[in-house]
Amino acid sequence: MGKYIKYHRDGTPWAKGSIVKGKMEGFWKWYRKDGTIMRSGHFKKSKQVGEWITYDGKGRIVKKTKM
């Protein structure tokens, strides 16, 4: 399992997770440019699974979605 980080143009993290055999796997997080978390959830073979959470600009949960 390889750790993966994608960055915004300004160099701040945009997404963090793992890649297995070229596919998104396990827990992933997406971030706004200011560093606050925007969304999180799990992948299995690049498909969204389980509960996905969306956060507001202060990091508070605003939505939970079952996949």
Q: What are 27-66's pLDDT values in tens digits?
A: 999 999 999 999 999 999 999 999 999 999 999 999 999 9
- When pLDDT is averaged across residues 6-15 and rounded to a whole number, the result is 96
- In this structure, the number of other CB atoms found within 10 A of the CB of residue 41 comes to 19
Residue 26 in this model has a pLDDT that exceeds 70: yes
Give the start-to-end residue ranges of the domains of the chain. 2-66
- Cβ atoms of 18 and 26 within 8 Å: the answer is yes
Pairing verdict, β 2-7 and 37-44: unpaired
| Residue 12 CA, distance from chain mean position | 14
- When pLDDT is averaged across residues 5-10 and rounded to a whole number, the result is 96
CA neighbor of 43 nearest in space, from 63, 19, 11: 19
Q: Tell me, what's the pLDDT at 2?
A: 84
